[in-house]
Amino acid sequence: MSAQNHVKRMTAPEITARKGGDPIVCLTAYDAPTASILDEYCDLILVGDSVGMVIHGLNSTVGVTMEMMILHGQAVMRGSQKALVVVDMPFGSYEDGKERAFQNASRMMMETGCQAIKIESGSYAAETIRYLVERGIPVMSHVGLRPQSHHVLGGFRARGRRESVANEIVENAKAAAEAGSFAVVVEGVSEDIADKVTEAVSIPTIGIGASAKCDGQILVTPDMLGLFDRVPKFVHKFADQKALVEKAASEYASNVKDRSFPRMENVYHFKK
């Protein structure tokens, strides 16, 4: 690619610099075509471990592997040019020690070419975050409802409705910020807790089921596009992709059955 056609990607420091400024637009992507479409509108594209549920049909994110995340991360990198691409570290890839976390995170970045990784940030995470950042790996943290911990938390439930839990969420976010995270996702918490987190940390907060006062917002793209009938309370369906696909599939099936497809313009003929 020539220098004049080169598109500069958003960087982690540029995301951090947006704290308190223009809202940061984020969505998830798992494939090159979707990433190519979203790239024009997003500051940050997350290759979320939600891929396990919305693409692979798993019941949770726990079954997602490094190999799955690398494969989808590579696809999103091929499809995007402008947005900062962050890839989720899957369950079991970083929790049992900072050295193992670095080994897996560095592999993720080398094999995908992504610009940052994301980890779910419990009380254990600050030391690992600091270790990764000191070694050149930008980290986005994740507090509140942490899908990888849904077995411990008792399901995919909103967090921060009790004072003790609310304080824990704020403290986890502060610890992640102080350890060097460039941004923190705040998921599934009451609005007032999300606002407290945003006020308490010096890095941008990216809300999902949180508050409009967060420094940015993210949604799982298939949810936002209306691919599924049931979505979390915090999702607004900006399209009805399910109905569109159903209509197209129904029309296609009908055309095949009555032999009106393929049409003349869809078949090849010998040239005279």
Distance CA 226, CA 125 (A): 34
Size of the chain, expressed as the number of residues it contains:
272
DSSP 3-state of 146: coil
DSSP 3-state of 36: helix
CB atoms within 10 A of CB 241: 16
Task: Please give the single-letter amino acid code of residue 137.
Answer: I
Strands (E), the chain: 24-28, 44-47, 84-88, 116-120, 139-144, 183-187, 205-208, 216-219
Sign of CA dihedral 52, 54, 57, 60: positive
Query: Which candidate in 111, 178, 187, 246 is catalytic?
Result: 187
Q: Cα–Cα distances in Å, from 234 out to 52, 230, 247?
A: 20, 12, 27
Geometric angle at alpha carbon 268, from 267 and 270, rounded to 5°: 150
In sequence order, which residues have a C-beta less than 8 Å from that of residue 152 and are 6 or more positions away? none
Geometric angle at alpha carbon 252, from 248 and 258, rounded to 5°: 145
Distance CA 86, CA 138 (A): 9
> Does 251 qualify as catalytic in the annotation?
no
Q: Cα–Cα distances in Å, from 243 out to 228, 235, 240?
A: 10, 17, 6
Tell me the catalytic residues: 187
